[in-house]
Amino acid sequence: MGVRALMHAELQEVLAHVAQAGFDPRPDKRGRTNAEAHYRKHVERFREWPPGTTLETYLESARRVILDRRSSIFTSRYAGYGSSL
């Protein structure tokens, strides 16, 4: 299978999809969603967001970063999923 760089419009479409898709809503064995697990890790444990940041505020800020043209994009494979852009 050949590999090619995405055209600008294709990349914007991918970013819009990722920003809209969010995290898998199914709960894990602890009853937490993937979004809640990431929130607890980045907001509560590592304090990468200001105190008082809610889950919704965290998710909205992640969407803004994804869509910000100044942001860089990094992809990886995890457990057999994912690909590079």
Please determine, for residue 84, whether its predicted confidence score (pLDDT) is greater than 50. Answer: no
**Does a structural domain hold residue 73?**
no
53 lies in some domain: yes
Query: Does a structural domain hold residue 30?
Result: yes
Residue found under tokens 């479409």: 13
Q: Is residue 83 part of a domain?
A: no
- How many structural domains are present in the chain? 1
- 82 falls within a domain: no
Domain range holding 13? 8-67
| Residue 77 forms part of a structural domain | no
* Tens of pLDDT, residues 34-63: 999 999 999 999 999 999 999 999 999 999
The reply to whether 34 falls in a domain is yes
User: Tell me, what's the pLDDT at 63?
Assistant: 94
What confidence score (pLDDT) does residue 4 get? Answer: 84
Is pTM beyond 0.85 here?
no
In terms of phi and psi (left: phi > 0; alpha: psi -120 to 50; beta: otherwise), the region of 32 is beta
CA distance 72 to 84: 13
Is residue 2, in this structure, part of any structural domain at all? Answer: no
Euclidean distance between CA atoms 50 and 42, whole angstroms: 10
